[in-house]
Amino acid sequence: MRICRSGAVIGLVSALALTGPAAALDSASRPAQSRSASEAFASAKDAMRSGVRNYNAGDKAGAVKALEYAADQGYPLALWKLGRMYADGDGVSQDELKAFEYFSRIADDNADEAPDSQRAGIVASAFVALGTFFLDGIKGSYVAANPERAVEMFQYAAAYFGDSTAQYSLARLYLEGTGTDRDPRQAARWLNLAAEKGHHPAQALLGQILMNGQGVPRQPARGLMWLSIAKEGADPKRDGWISSLYSEAFEASTESDRRTALAFLEQFQAKRR
């Protein structure tokens, strides 16, 4: 797996897969699957389309069959969709190791994908998923917890692809000092990049840091602005913590801070019109 374009870190996940006791993507298991699927699909592209249609129609078993054929041909979107299905137990038995290996194939084969290409988002998402797996490891498998590798996965997706979820995840590790030295200023930098892209959890966490002055100069008005933006854009059912942070910050702020935050908010919105 690459963390730099020189290839210094290429092959990490591939090497892990080779040592796994029952690698989900072992090439030895592919020929029979491919021969069977090839009778039903004219091409990998056709299989991908069929997989999407079946999935949307609720035929998860048919979707898996089609997506496996497309994935066997190296289709990144099919690999990603299968990875997500196995990670979430969506229409299949949950299997984090299979998910890890699908995401690994994407990362190993497409790490140098141009950041502005159509597939860049898929590749960046695969790196983020791998970083998440490396944080805690996968119980009962050869994938051990490795926070330092998690930092590298998030760092690559954050810096090379500019992925906002990776930037947010990396910032949290800098805040906690997990897998790297604790560095609130670096955390704030990555949170700001993600916040500017509309990542609501990053906006909320950045707002909290600025409100409280956690390792950075205290800027309550700007912090309240970010919390306000996050609250307006977040899902109240899924992200209730954001509303709670905003309420706490609003109550703790002065009238002057609130007026200044409103002015900052108007400037922020004007730049995006």
SS3 89: coil
Distance CA 53, CA 64 (A): 11
Tell me, yes or no, if the pTM score tops 0.95: no
- Which DSSP state fits 24? T
The residue assigned the tokens 């002015």 is 263
Angle, helix 200-212 to helix 164-176, in steps of 10 degrees: 30
Question: pLDDT tens, position by position, for the chain (273 residues)?
Answer: 444 443 434 454 544 443 343 343 443 334 344 445 445 788 888 999 999 999 999 999 999 999 999 999 999 999 999 999 999 999 999 999 999 999 999 999 999 999 999 999 999 999 999 999 999 999 999 999 999 999 999 999 999 999 999 999 999 999 999 999 999 999 999 999 999 999 999 999 999 999 999 889 999 999 999 999 999 999 988 999 999 999 999 999 999 999 999 999 999 999 888
Give DSSP secondary structure letters for 51-79.
Answer: HHHHHHTT-HHHHHHHHHHHHHTT-HHHH
**Smallest Cα–Cα separation from 86: which of 98, 71, 68?**
98
